[in-house]
Amino acid sequence: MAFLGFTSTELRTYLIMGLCWIEIVQVNLMEQPYARSLVVCDVPTNTTPGALFSGSKYCGDRLHVINVGAEISGMGQSLENVGRITITLFVSAYADNGRRPAAILGQFMLFASTLLFAIAGFFTSLAMPIFIVAQWLQGMSGIGILDQIITGDVALTSGDSVGVYNRKNMYIAVLCVVLFPMVLYVQYAEILEFTRVWILVNMLNLAALLLLLFFFPETLPEEKRGKESNVFKMVVKELQTFRDLVTTNTLVRWRLVEIFLIGLSDPAAIAMPFFMANFALPQFYALLYSMGPGLALAPFFIPLAPYLHKRFGYRNGWQICYWGQRVFTTPFVIGLPGVLHPMLKSYWGIPGPVVSGLLAMPFCGFFSIVSAVELRIVGQENNAKYQAMVQLVGFFTGALSSAAYSWLFDAEATTPIMKVLPYYFAAFGGLLQIPVWYFKLRPIQLAECDKLTEEMEKEAEKTEEEKNAAKEEKTEEEKKTD
């Protein structure tokens, strides 16, 4: 039985996990304004009509609040990624004993994290340590990797892995549209009191936990579940499995290198503070500048990449989408000293990163194809391990980039180079990704694309034969009737 294209298994598994995952994203988008609201300084707040909102009820120095808030959030994100590194080794091994108990434990940790965020607002002197511990707990939940593992389980048993990932991405995009108005309100209203916000977030996390407890099925077949109960032995075995997979699978080895470079070239931690400091934008408009293209356009463009692959073949579609992303995004990041900042400052009146986000949007559905192709190459028996390694590398680079970009960012900088210094570092990592893909990953991925195209053509031929047979049968029946 299917509902809106989703099978019963999809409705009960990754749709629930998607809610858990989207709650992490929602909280992450509120962490920076919440961190700024907790900043304390000696400058009194300016209550004069028309005065710029500082972001804190305890400090009136706007640039200082942006700076300190970015540092606190960056430290918290860095520790959150350290927590993710710690838990991923455990979760990927623990999930081999069953996906359901691992998901329930992870969501419980996430619920505890958002409870701590709520508590931080009531203790000004301890707010920062509680805030950082809450982010660490959020990282320890392991929800991100569990979401990937469970979706992989469903995709492999469905017979339509591309369709599963595409439907999931569409669902996530719609869920963002439904749940993100609260985030937008927090940014737009420039609130300083977050108690009601955290009450709502905790209610959503509790609802997700109850759904996991009462409706979530086990997606790992009994015969494939492990029997090991010793956590230390599980982790050691997991590390040995990681080593074996890296040494024997070329795609895994070089894909991890690519993901490492992608993580190092991601300045997302300072995107909003950058817009707020350098364009004098309120936090609501800074959010729209950094997130707007994805939130508004992704649901419409996600189906385009699968269409291109089916229309032109998976090999051609893959290369169109890959180079489309690179050509439309990289030039807006890379520039010479003295050129980059003016380009970011005004490009048709819009900051350069926004333009690059808009131009890359037609290819946002490409990630569904990438996930499906990689799943076919890696296989279900190795998918949990592969996803764990992908997450570990991402968390490691996230811990580095969150701290590094927050440290490089200076809201009070006065020279063009210093204002955009973090983006120069991001550009270097972006350039290094291209040769890794072209020489190491492209041959493997395109070979699998050829197999998908062949399967698609055979399926089309089979469908055509069935149609012709049906027509012939109908014709024979008509002749008999006559």
With tokens 């000696």, the residue in question is: 42
Nearest CA to 389 out of 137, 219, 207, 149 is that of 149
pLDDT score, position 348 = 47
Q: What is the largest CA-CA distance in the chain?
A: 97
Show me where the domains of the chain are located: 2-219+227-460
| Total Cβ atoms within 10 A of residue 337 | 11
Give the three-class secondary structure for 217.
coil
pLDDT score, position 339 = 37
For 307, the token pair is 């269409």
**CA 398 to CA 465: how far, in whole Å?**
51
pLDDT score, position 335 = 38
pLDDT score, position 444 = 95
For 135, the token pair is 């982010």
Cα Rg for the chain, rounded, in angstroms?
24
pLDDT score, position 357 = 66
Q: Which residues neighbour 83 within 8 Å (Cβ) at sequence distance 6 or greater?
A: 135, 136, 137, 138, 139, 140
CATH homologous superfamily of 2-219+227-460 equals MFS general substrate transporter like domains (1.20.1250.20)
**CA 168 to CA 146: how far, in whole Å?**
14
pTM comes to: 0.68
pLDDT score, position 356 = 61
Task: pLDDT tens for the chain, 482 residues: list them.
Answer: 455 667 777 777 877 887 888 888 888 878 888 888 888 888 888 777 666 777 887 888 888 888 888 888 887 778 788 877 777 767 766 677 778 888 888 899 899 999 999 998 888 778 878 888 888 888 888 787 788 788 888 887 777 777 787 788 777 777 777 777 777 777 777 777 888 888 988 998 999 899 889 888 887 777 666 665 566 676 777 788 889 999 999 999 999 999 999 888 888 788 788 878 877 777 777 777 777 667 677 778 888 988 888 889 999 999 999 988 776 665 444 433 333 443 444 444 555 556 666 777 888 888 888 988 998 898 877 887 888 788 789 888 988 888 888 888 888 888 777 877 787 777 777 778 889 999 999 999 999 999 999 988 888 888 888 887 777 777 777 666 66
Q: Which residues neighbour 222 within 8 Å (Cβ) at sequence distance 6 or greater?
A: none
Convert 75-107 to b/e letters by CB count within 10 Å (16 or more is b): bbbbbbbbbbbbbbbbbbbbbbbbbbebbebbb
Give the three-class secondary structure for 166.
helix
Which ranges in 121-225 belong to alpha helices (H)?
127-140, 143-158, 161-189, 195-215
